Structure 1
């Protein structure tokens, strides 16, 4: 799965830059303009990208995929807490991008092999970034624009469904501060869930996962720890996001 996402991302970048180069250096006016636009660009461009992906890029991407999966497998067992922290960081690193999908692929693979803890970590962490965005916009409205607050007021709903993409606009606008805040809280959440060895053997994410938990301490404690870990991680991310956002605005005001 990671191979697919990384390969797709690289293919898209290659195709984009190749088209840009071809339009700059291969062009024609008059009768052949349509032929160049509708045949040469897509056909030649597709062939070149396909050859590069098949014979040049494919093997390194496959190697990277396997190396990452092997590394995560090596963290299992005695390093469960570290594994949970790493998965947590990966989930919030790019909010649904290739690194997030790498964690997802690993968690599904672990589930297929009877280890239900990694996916439980994944499901809990997916709520952190969304919750922290909504909380930050609610607590410090003055630090965010009207558009950001409108998005933030709804992000927590996506978090309940286990959707991290709601935080992407904030991450794109201020990637280092926003993503850094998300990762710190997510690492804490992932470490807590993995430490208590709480498992989830049903693919999916969101608040309803708390009724399907297995292992761990058992009983009511499992959902309390699972949801509590997500809320604690979100609290940490919220505090960091507010502090870093305030620092950014203070620097901007000092320059002005």
Structure 2
């Protein structure tokens, strides 16, 4: 019996990670293979592969979206590996197992290759940035929920008394203050994990401390912190600096202390001073300019920006374009700019929910399998997991992607115009109930408008597409 082990991960660690793991497991079992799948998601590593399972495996499948650490790569050294981006795994699941031998390559701990000479990119700027976002998510989710709870307590009449001499703080103030810590530390964590994704543990502490420094406006004497721009620049700079620093050979006496003593000390010293005198003030100035621009741009430009962000979010349903718009919107949360992330909360609901509703209204436009999957797409999609829309888009790329993108763009423009704000990632359609999306009435109005537009576009565009397809088939016959 063929034995397979697999690892799945994605930048957010929420949807793709588990959907792809399930798909690999089901497909492998249907072929009579023994399979074990490890997920590296938002909850951490689950179903971790044992050394015995890896040793006995004939092939390793890596469906990854945020790369692998050096220690992960070492686990699969000299194994036959098939690697593909996690965003592509669902698209190719039916053919993934067709030629494992031909599509695999013996892995070395330094790189992975697919086939004879094609190197698969498991590293790259966006991969590193999304690794930082993935680490920051729990800080924002936990912090955002606590702030929402504190706000709800005050709205229901509970006191919001701060800490002062001779006065005990109220529970609402304490909960809100704890929540604020999540937003305070999300940027240092983002910078630290960007560096960690590039060069592993030696880069983590210096990147965390230096990014924290860059966002301490009191210490730097700046009007604002460096924000996510500082996290990106510092995380990448320290990550690549440490990556090449690790290659230095110091001899047997000092080589053993290089990663945990020399590298962190030297890196922190160099980048600490550099950030205090140059990078921190420069990034803080840029961040102030960006925030001022976003807050003061005319309504017409804001609508155009909302359209672009909304269209990007809906275009490739969890792909690189979607992630770029998501990263921009999410990163502004640390600066308490919530309306761009409000677009995310609305638009990411639309493609799967609209596809499901369209199957109910016009079932003749869809296959039996698509109709059967509609309830699953609707329910999962309502929790801001756009991936259930992918099978519908693969079946009819031109009409479905066009409908999603156009509806997403228009809805994004309406959402930014109505100033819908989302303070943290949540559970989609229920976010207003948790106090994470407001005003609740504009949120639900935007979702309703978006769904009407998206469903209408799907029915119109796919109807035209199927009609032309039938005409071409008749002509060919």
Alignment TM-score, normalising by the size of structure 2: 0.40
The equivalent of 1:46 in structure 2 is 111
Unaligned 5+ segments in structure 1 are 14-19, 25-36, 216-221
Q: Is the 1:131–1:155 contact (alpha carbons within 8 Å) kept by the matching residues of 2?
A: yes
The equivalent of 2:444 in structure 1 is 227
Matching residue within 233, 248, 251 for 2:465: 248
CA-to-aligned-CA distance 1:175-215 (integer Å, 9 cap, x gap): 12101101111112111111122212122340121232567
Taking the aligned partners of 2:338 and 2:385, their CA distance within structure 1 comes to: 20
The SS at the match of 2:373 is: helix
The SS at the match of 2:317 is: coil
Q: How many residues align?
A: 216
Taking the aligned partners of 2:437 and 2:109, their CA distance within structure 1 comes to: 53
Taking the aligned partners of 1:130 and 1:59, their CA distance within structure 2 comes to: 29
The equivalent of 1:163 in structure 2 is 385
Pair 145,116 (structure 1): closer, same or farther in 2 beyond 3 Å: same
Taking the aligned partners of 1:53 and 1:146, their CA distance within structure 2 comes to: 36
Alignment TM-score, normalising by the size of structure 1: 0.70
CA-to-aligned-CA distance 1:59-88 (integer Å, 9 cap, x gap): 7999xxx8xx99xx5973323222222221
The equivalences for 1:12-161 within 5 A come to 12=84, 41-43=106-108, 46=111, 58=124, 76-77=294-295, 78=297, 79-161=301-383
Between 1 and 2, higher relative CO (CA 8 Å, sep ≥ 6) is seen in 1
CA-to-aligned-CA distance 1:118-144 (integer Å, 9 cap, x gap): 111101111111221112101111111
Taking the aligned partners of 1:83 and 1:171, their CA distance within structure 2 comes to: 25
Taking the aligned partners of 2:405 and 2:112, their CA distance within structure 1 comes to: 39
Q: CA deviation at 1:89?
A: 0.9
Q: Is the 1:124–1:205 contact (alpha carbons within 8 Å) kept by the matching residues of 2?
A: no
Q: Is the 1:186–1:234 contact (alpha carbons within 8 Å) kept by the matching residues of 2?
A: no
